[in-house]
Structure 1
Amino acid sequence: MTVRWVAGPSPVSDTIPQIHLKLLITGLCVGLLLIALIRGRPGRISGGHLNPAISLAMWRLGVFRGAAVLPYIAAQLVGSVLGVSAARAMWGPSVGNPPVVDAALRPGPGWSADALFVAEAVSVGCIVYLVGLFLRFPKLAPLVPWLVGFLICAAIALLGTITGGSENPARQFGPAVVSGQVGFLWVYLLAPMVGSAVAATVLNAAHNRHAVLTHRLCGTHADGSALRGSEQ
């Protein structure tokens, strides 16, 4: 819906002629939404992954059950399809037409699948590494939702015209399936997972003396008790 109003035919889009400004506004909207979802009650209950690459990374960092990875990924991909379908139901077939095309992403002109794979893997790897690093320090762990929002906003604003700025297999899955724009879908699905796994491996090797404090992201101690006062 954000893409429909900011990039598609609309009074909002008409007042923003520059593509980079449109991407910045889109990134801000998505970043703030991610912060709200991660910090909200549903995010605290589920862990607020919202991204198959993050679910994989949390498993590789040793704080998420391996048996839950595939169910989480399945739920994230199904949610992506449901989100696009809901937008279609609300706004009609117009969101499936250019320039919106169900918010499906495409790399910039001249980009090959190999180059796109490297770019997506590296960018997601950087995000996972920073998130994992923040989660290893008590004073930084509560800032993770804000870090994620900022990084995704920056990726959309800076990489939107180059790689599409996906950073999330679920972000592209629903739009690509519903719109039929599946040309680079395998790259958008696989590259973030590879980048995430590599980043988690490097992080484990470089900071193996610090435990990952995912409970801080949920506002509790490791035993589930609430944080108080200056701890929050």
Structure 2
Amino acid sequence: MTRRPAHDLPEITVGTRPSVAQRLSLARAADEFVLATVMLFIAVTAVRWLRDPDSALYVADLDVAIAVIGAFSGAVLTALILTAPGRRSGGHMNPAVTVSLWLMGAFPGRRVLPYVLAQLAGSAAGSGLARLVWGRPVALPSVGYAAIRPAPNWQPVSVFLAEAGGMAAIVLVVGFVVARSHGTRLLPYAVGLSVALVIALLGTRSGGSVNPARQLGPAVLAGQTEDLWIYLVAPVLGAALGARLDRLLGRRRPPVRVARAEGSPSPASAGSSAPDLAQGHAPHQKQTSAPG
């Protein structure tokens, strides 16, 4: 039997597609890092101006301040989802959201860890950036890097249940909107409104974080880590509960479209901010010639 020369052997391309998929996954995770960094910088900035007694925008009444922060946070979240990085990555900015979408079958499992790590890293980066920009006022006790604090009379169990329940409610809202025809177009606004309401209702009680990335950076920099585990674990468990309840409700949603070869963006993703929040594609959206 004659051995074929090496140059006549067929080219092996087994590793090509995984490497492209890996690069795409890292690029989307980088988008999440940028979004989380901006989100935390804005969150700390808002608290710095509203809760620093020497600020021209200081709001003495905590309930009023929390309501303003909630409305502002919801608007910022919606705006970030609609940005170019938000459209590409899906604009999660929350490990609990990433986990819930994975459990709902709307996000690939191999991207969960890169997304979560990017979001948590963005939390630290955004909080640190706010300290560099605004200086000492960010570290004042009344600001405390915008770290979430529960009410003094709230026990850890109550805080845990409230944070988990708040996240579960948000996931159910996401599931409800996605299940509606053309509901994906409304999703950024529904998410922003839901988060604003949770902050307004729970802000002076459990803290209303419902986002591990929202709390990690501020809490670590402020040295407020005693109850940090609650704000890291409760939203994720609440997201899992919400995803489970969504499945039990039997909601049917359009199939998720996946990017070609897991590497090149589908042309269908142009201009969408949809909850394939996995690839940034809106299901059943008419294809266009622009790349996502």
Aligned to 1:188: 231
Aligned to 1:12: 57
In structure 2, the gaps of 5 or more residues are 1-44, 258-268, 275-279
Give distance in 1, aligned partners of 2:135 and 2:102.
Answer: 39
Q: What do residues 54-112 of structure 1 show as CA deviations (whole Å, max 9, x unaligned)? A: 00011001111111111111100000000110000011132112100000111101212
| Cα 1:118–1:220 shift into 2, 3 Å | closer
Q: What do residues 127-160 of structure 1 show as CA deviations (whole Å, max 9, x unaligned)? A: 1111111111123221111111111111122211
Shift of 1:41: 1.0
Give distance in 2, aligned partners of 1:151 and 1:226.
Answer: 31
Tell me, yes or no, if structure 1 residue 202 matches structure 2 residue 240: no
The one-letter code matched in structure 2 to 1:116 is: V
| Cα 1:59–1:224 shift into 2, 3 Å | farther
Aligned to 2:163: 120
Tell me, yes or no, if structure 1 residue 145 matches structure 2 residue 188: yes
Aligned to 2:266: none
Q: Which has the higher helix share?
A: 1
Aligned to 1:225: 287
Aligned to 2:18: none
Are the equivalent residues in 2 in contact too, given 1:135–1:213 (CA < 8 A)?
no
Asked which structure has the greater RCO (Cα within 8 Å, sep 6+), the reply is 1
Are the equivalent residues in 2 in contact too, given 1:137–1:213 (CA < 8 A)?
no
Give distance in 2, aligned partners of 1:163 and 1:134.
Answer: 26
Picking from 71, 81, 89, the partner of 1:28 is: 71
The one-letter code matched in structure 1 to 2:224 is: Q
The one-letter code matched in structure 1 to 2:52 is: G
Are the equivalent residues in 1 in contact too, given 2:178–2:253 (CA < 8 A)?
no
Q: Give the TM-score, by structure 1 length.
A: 0.91
Are the equivalent residues in 2 in contact too, given 1:136–1:213 (CA < 8 A)?
no
The RMSD of aligned alpha carbons is: 2.0
Query: Percent of aligned pairs with the same residue?
Result: 40
- Equivalent position SS for 2:179: coil
Bigger mean CA deviation after superposition, 210-219 or 78-87: 210-219
Aligned to 1:82: 125
| Cα 1:212–1:20 shift into 2, 3 Å | farther
Give distance in 1, aligned partners of 2:140 and 2:187.
Answer: 36
In structure 1, the gaps of 5 or more residues are 228-232
The one-letter code matched in structure 1 to 2:57 is: V
Picking from 97, 101, 112, the partner of 1:54 is: 97
Give distance in 2, aligned partners of 1:63 and 1:124.
Answer: 17
| Cα 1:144–1:82 shift into 2, 3 Å | same
The one-letter code matched in structure 2 to 1:2 is: A
Q: What do residues 172-199 of structure 1 show as CA deviations (whole Å, max 9, x unaligned)? A: 0000111110011000000000010011
| Cα 1:47–1:180 shift into 2, 3 Å | same
Are the equivalent residues in 2 in contact too, given 1:88–1:95 (CA < 8 A)?
yes
Q: How does 1:31-42 map to 2 (within 5 A)?
A: 31-42=74-85
